Amino acid sequence: MGEALLVHLGRMPYRDAWDLQRHVGARVKAHELPDTVLMVEHPPVYTVGRAAHGSLEHLLWDEDRRRTEGIELYLVDRGGDITYHGPGQLVGYPIVDLTRHGRDLHRYLRDLEESLIRALARFGIDAGRLSPHTGVWVGEEKIAAIGVKASHWITSHGFALNVDPNLEHFTGIIPCGIDDKGVTSMARVLGRDVCLDDVQPVVEDALAEVFHWSWQRIAMEQLASLTAK
């Protein structure tokens, strides 16, 4: 079992977390840090992957509506189309050296899905895959989105699990460019309030199980000192 760093960022603006991923990725690539997983919650934001940079046709709300709702917009360097992040959603950014995991990006995506499927099962939610789409689904509704980047076998970006976000914000986009499927959350499926603090440790346990990690938990301040060297 390999050691991995686990860092809770709390609620952090998207731009700050994106910058942090780059700093951590450089250290992982240089073998100065082990695999590192950043766990975070974002203020409302739409992010557009490389597949949709040339066209924002899947962005439905105009700038005025987004401003009213307090939703930022970023064009980012991950794969995929457009997605939403916001309060009530658990976002994980595994910064992983895939040379330690078989240099297989397809397997990495399936392992992320498997981790979330196992975590959801522990809450009594029967989730699974829906080919050919990436992500985790309950029936034909997506409960977790996955979008990653791999550069020199170092990953960034990751997954977003809908615990209890504002699902209305998903109506401002065509999530992942898929117009014939829905979006759901743990709270909606279970018919009750679900707390991020209750879900996060279960997801962390599932990630450790699937990726054969032993967590070293460090504070954000410790990570900042490690990436500043």
Q: How far is CA 229 from CA 106, 175, 216, 224, 226, in A?
A: 33, 38, 19, 9, 6
Q: β-strand 45-48 against 72-75: which pairing, if any?
A: parallel
- What does the radius of gyration of the chain's CA atoms come to, in whole angstroms? 17
Q: Would you call the peptide bond into 132 cis, given omega within 30 degrees of 0 as the criterion? A: yes
* Candidates 24, 39, 119, 176; catalytic one: 176
Nearest to 34 by CA among 160, 209, 208: 208
Pairing relation of β-strands 72-75 and 82-85?
Answer: unpaired
Confirm if 94 and 35 have CB atoms less than 8 A apart. yes
Active site residue 176: yes
Strand order in the sheet with 82-85: 72-75, 45-48, 82-85
Ramachandran angles phi, psi of 220, nearest 5°: -55, -40
Helix (H, G, I), strand (E, B) or coil at 136: strand
- The two tokens of residue 36 are 């590192």
Q: Would you name the residues annotated as active-site residues?
A: 176
